[in-house]
Amino acid sequence: MKIRTMLIISMIVFSVLSSLLFTVFVGVHLSSSSDSHYRQTMRELSGKQSHAVESYFDSYIRRFDSIAGNPAVIDFVNYLDLDDGGEYDDNNDNDDESEEDSPEYIRVRSALEALTSNESGITGITIFDERNDIFIYTGSNRRNFLQTRVNNLSEHQFTAFPIQSDNEAEQNFELLHYARIGSSPYFMLCSYSSDDIVTFFYNSRPSTRGKIVLICPLNNILDVTFRGNLDEGSRTTQEYIRINSYIRKDRDEQYRNGTTFFTYELGRENSIALFDRISDTGWLLGVIGKTSDINDYSVDSIAVLRNLAIFLGVVMVALSVLFAIWFTKPLVIIKDVLTKVRRGDHEVRISISQGNEFGKIAKEFNDLLDNVVIGEGRHKTVIEMSDNIIFEWNFLKDEVHFSNNFSKKFSYRAPTDSYKDSFLVKCKIHPEDTVNYKKTLEKLSKGESIQQDEFRWKNIFGDYVWFLLRACAIRGANNEILKVVGVIVDIDNAKKKEKILSARANYDALTGLYNRETLEELINNEIDLITARKNEFAILFIDVDDFKFFNDNYSHATGDQVLRFTALSINDIVSNYGMAGRFGGDEFVVCIRNSEINDPAKTAEEILTKLGEGFMCDVGDQLSVKVSIGIAIIRDTAKRVDEIIGMADEAMYKIKKSGKSNYGFIN
């Protein structure tokens, strides 16, 4: 199937599915979240109205303080103190005509009535003492309140108190609160109309069928359409009976943490209610709504989304077809050009001048094709100038190809490009290297990388010459081996130099190890070889800890035994992959080849362990030897041998300072 067709079908399917999934997802989300959204709205409304109620209470308190500071009230309280309250205390019975006709009583009562008429919302004022004995009051019904309820309230705490009403099915209330007048032993009680505090939130209901109610500390409920006491079943509606069953169980515990939600059934309709404590006033504010409002909101929203999704789906399908045709046009051009390039036409180029990614791809491809043409010529020139031989084993075609400089080293000419006729199979290998070479070919056939295998091949002059072989596999998308690419490096001169140095090497007379001069020459040769081998080597600088102890406490002969034992132990460990020499006195130097394979740290641990086992000296004592070892890893030829050994010596010195008998690397 063509990309254009696939893209059109894919985009149409994506457009339709995305529209459906969007509708389903948002619909489910709205259905599941509509309740939480509705509850959140109720919380916000409750918080707003609770703050408003607190503000009303604060305004009443300010009015109260203004009245309590009125000169007439202050003079009256002072007069009561001077008279000790005897003249005006009627012991809750104001039928003493002489007291009511007294000038002081008339003056204060007139002042209070004037304050009541001037202060909006105030319906009555009462002054009483700590025994609830009333001295003076305006309005009505405060006496009964003082006799029955005032001891249950705190100062400045508001409550709704019932007043007489002709309609027994509905009660009216006044808001009452009291506080001490200054620092005197007398209190003032103010009553306010409950109409103000009820009607101010009438227009802030959660919905047309919702409402807000207030419940005072005495369980009196204030509603726009109903007022009553929740504990009086005969006068309370069925709805408030259900609400009271929720909030009366444990009022303090229920609202300890603030807001609480509950639902209740009334007839065929369910309601949801939120009740929240208004600060520390003892009042509860309730927000009541209908659960059907939540469902109506969700259904209406889903219907709008469904129609929108259908419209968007049709538009997206049409746009998808047009977009797919426009988008794939450059791909068709690129495909045609690639086909021509594959057929050998290296002069063809992509003619796309767009400023988007397709235009950039066209430019990059054209530049890449130019570079490939130039690079092929440069690659051939570099290979021909290099002394190293490059080869490629193509597994798909089972062919082997060598760079042109192959003929400068070897006389063999393969009759075909087939692997079985190639130099890799037909080469003249030194008898001693035959087994290892067969293992290397087996690794190559499995796609394993060859780091640095060294063999002796017969060259163009008929001599066995040392060569280094490195190779790596190139794999396809499914990890199958496509080809093996390798290099053959002539290392004969370096190997011969190493052999000559070994043949004429001078050994230390006491330990039998290389002496310092020979060891440095051998390390220099290793520096030359790492360039060809592409490997690294390590230098270990070893110093015997507390060597003077053996000479001073035993003898110099015993000290020589310690040095010979140390040298023999070191040489036994490293002889298979390195060389060791005595650097001077009780100092030894070890060179480890291929340190990326032969771990220097492991070698150091083996030396410490071997020397720690000790030996039997000439006086019959078992002596163990402890040493400090510094390690330097060498990866390039930039440093001289004295610098390299100095680096290892520096690492050893740090070990000496930090406690001896250990090893460490140079930082």
C-alpha separations of 271 from 122, 198, 291, 329 in Å: 36, 21, 5, 62
3-state secondary structure 230-293: CCCCCCCCHHHHHHHHHHCCCHHHHCCCCCEEEEEEECCEEEEEEEEECCCCCCEEEEEEEHHH
- The burial class, CB within 10 Å (0-12 / 13-18 / 19+), for 64 is buried
Residue 602: pLDDT band by 50, 70, 90 thresholds? very high
Q: What is the pLDDT, as a whole number, of residue 43? A: 83
In a shared domain, residues 590 and 605: yes
Average pLDDT of the segment spanning 246-255: 59
- Report the range of poorest mean pLDDT among 112-121, 481-490, 502-511, 598-607: 112-121
Whether 73 and 181 have beta carbons less than 8 Å apart is answered as yes
Point out the domain boundary residue: 294, 310, 336. 294
CATH number of the domain enclosing 574: 3.30.70.270
CA distance 106 to 559: 128
- Report the range of poorest mean pLDDT among 215-229, 534-548, 650-664: 215-229
Asked if residue 446 belongs to a domain, the reply is yes
- 3-state class of 503 per DSSP? helix
Q: For residue range 439-495, what is the model confidence (pLDDT) as tens digits?
A: 999 999 998 888 778 999 999 999 999 999 999 999 888 888 999 999 999 888 888
Number of domains in the chain: 4
In a shared domain, residues 530 and 610: yes
Which conformational region is residue 399 in: left (phi greater than 0), alpha (psi within -120 to 50 degrees), or beta?
beta
Q: What is the pLDDT, as a whole number, of residue 531? A: 73
Asked if residue 534 belongs to a domain, the reply is yes
Place of tokens 């369910």: 270
Nearest to 284 by CA among 339, 183, 380, 214: 214
String of DSSP letters for 14-36: HHHHHHHHHHHHHHHHHHHHHHH
Residue 374: pLDDT band by 50, 70, 90 thresholds? low
Asked if residue 317 belongs to a domain, the reply is no
pLDDT over 80 at 545, yes or no? yes
Asked if residue 216 belongs to a domain, the reply is yes
In a shared domain, residues 413 and 551: no
Q: What is the pLDDT, as a whole number, of residue 537? A: 92
- Range list of H helices, 69-93: 71-83
Nearest to 328 by CA among 630, 73, 5: 5
Biggest CA pair distance of the chain: 153
Phi, psi (degrees; rounded to nearest 5) at 594: 50, 55
CA distance 307 to 298: 15
Asked if residue 25 belongs to a domain, the reply is no
Instruction: Measure CA 261 to chain center.
Output: 36
Give the DSSP H or E segment for 656.
Answer: helix 641-657
Residue 624: pLDDT band by 50, 70, 90 thresholds? very high
In a shared domain, residues 445 and 534: no
Comparing 407 with 201, which gets the higher pLDDT?
Answer: 407
Instruction: Measure CA 444 to chain center.
Output: 45
Q: What is the pLDDT, as a whole number, of residue 414? A: 92
Residue 89: pLDDT band by 50, 70, 90 thresholds? very low
Q: What is the mean pLDDT of the chain?
A: 80
Q: Where are the beta strands (DSSP E) in 395-523?
A: 399-402, 450-458, 464-475, 481-490
Point out the domain boundary residue: 490, 511, 540. 490
Q: What is the pLDDT, as a whole number, of residue 333? A: 78
Average pLDDT of the segment spanning 254-279: 74
pLDDT over 80 at 224, yes or no? no
In a shared domain, residues 406 and 380: no
Residue 258: pLDDT band by 50, 70, 90 thresholds? low
Structural domain boundaries, residue 561: 495-665
Residue 375: pLDDT band by 50, 70, 90 thresholds? low
In a shared domain, residues 579 and 543: yes
In a shared domain, residues 486 and 505: no
pLDDT over 50 at 117, yes or no? yes
Q: What is the pLDDT, as a whole number, of residue 52? A: 83
Q: Which two tokens stand for residue 152?
A: 């249950």
**How many Cβ atoms sit within 10 Å of the Cβ of residue 25?**
11
Point out the domain boundary residue: 441, 460, 490. 490
Q: What is the pLDDT, as a whole number, of residue 123? A: 81
In a shared domain, residues 481 and 538: no
Nearest to 516 by CA among 572, 426, 583: 583
Give the DSSP H or E segment for 584.
Answer: strand 578-584
pLDDT over 90 at 160, yes or no? no
Residue 218: pLDDT band by 50, 70, 90 thresholds? confident
In a shared domain, residues 480 and 504: no
Q: For residue range 5-45, what is the model confidence (pLDDT) as tens digits?
A: 777 777 777 777 777 776 777 666 666 667 777 788 888 88
Interstrand relation of 211-215 and 186-193 (parallel, antiparallel or unpaired): unpaired
String of DSSP letters for 150-209: GGGS-TT--EEEEE--S-TTS-EEEEEEEEE-TTSSEEEEEEEEHHHHHHTTGGG-SSTT
Q: What is the pLDDT, as a whole number, of residue 144? A: 58
Angle in degrees, CA 178, 184, 189, rounded to 5: 15
Average pLDDT of the segment spanning 355-369: 76
CATH number of the domain enclosing 437: 3.30.450.20
Q: What is the pLDDT, as a whole number, of residue 97? A: 47
Nearest to 170 by CA among 115, 108, 235, 119: 235
Asked if residue 212 belongs to a domain, the reply is yes
In a shared domain, residues 583 and 653: yes
Whether 385 and 403 have beta carbons less than 8 Å apart is answered as no
In a shared domain, residues 443 and 574: no
Asked if residue 573 belongs to a domain, the reply is yes
Q: What is the pLDDT, as a whole number, of residue 192? A: 83
pLDDT over 80 at 90, yes or no? no
In a shared domain, residues 432 and 407: yes
Asked if residue 1 belongs to a domain, the reply is no
Residue 436: pLDDT band by 50, 70, 90 thresholds? very high
Average pLDDT of the segment spanning 86-113: 60
